[in-house]
Amino acid sequence: MNQDSSAQATGKRAAAEEAVRRIESGMTVGLGTGSTAVYAIRKIGEFVQGGLSIRAVATSVQSERLARELGIPISPFADIDGIDVTIDGADEVDGAFNAIKGGGGALLREKIVAAASRTLILVVDESKVVRRLGAFPLPVEIVPFGKELTLAKLTELGGNPVVRLARDGSVYTTDNGNYIADCNFGSIGDPGRLTAQLNAIPGVVENGLFVGMASGVIVGRADGSAAPLVRQS
Residues marked as catalytic: 110
| β-strands 209-210, 99-100 pairing | antiparallel
DSSP-assigned states of every residue in 84-116: EEEEE--SEE-TTS-EE--TTS-HHHHHHHHHT
- Cα 48 from Cα 69, distance rounded (Å): 12
From the list 157, 148, 138, 140, the residue with the least C-alpha distance to 206 is: 140
Cα 165 to its chain centre, rounded Å, is 19
Pairing of β 179-183 and β 83-88: unpaired
Residue closest to 42 by CA, chosen among 17, 59, 21: 17
Of 116, 131, 142, 129, which is closest to residue 213 (Cα–Cα)? 116
Q: Name the nearest CA neighbour of 161 among 141, 191, 145.
A: 141
Closest-CA residue to 90 (of 118, 60, 62, 111): 111
